[in-house]
Amino acid sequence: MIYILKIKGTDKIPDFVQIRDQDMTLRAYFRLDQQEAGIRKNRMQEHSKAIMDALKEMKFGKLKQLDIQL
């Protein structure tokens, strides 16, 4: 199980994504506009479609739970 948080940036800070495990330990942190590279860098390619689909439908500042094992 993972949790995804989509964070809205400011004028100088870009939008970011946090992916946390079931213990809320940070597993990945990357820019929203570089999500493919962030997923690849954090070795989550097998779940990339589910993560990217969730990010498209999510609103900023919301936490989403996905049933994915890392």
Q: Is the pLDDT of residue 68 over 90?
A: no
Kindly report the pTM of this predicted structure: 0.89
**pLDDT of res. 61:** 95
| Enclosing H/E stretch for 57 | helix 48-57
**pLDDT of res. 38:** 95
* pLDDT tens digits, one per residue of 12-38: 999 999 999 999 999 999 999 999 999
Domain that holds residue 51: 2-66
Q: Is the dihedral of CA 22, 59, 12, 38 positive or negative?
A: positive
Strand ranges across the sheet with 2-7 = 26-31, 16-21, 2-7, 63-66
Work out how many domains the chain is built from and give that number.
1
First to last CA, the chain: 8
Long-range contacts of 44-47 (CB under 8 A, 24+ apart): 44/19, 44/70
* pLDDT tens digits, one per residue of 40-63: 999 999 999 999 999 999 999 999
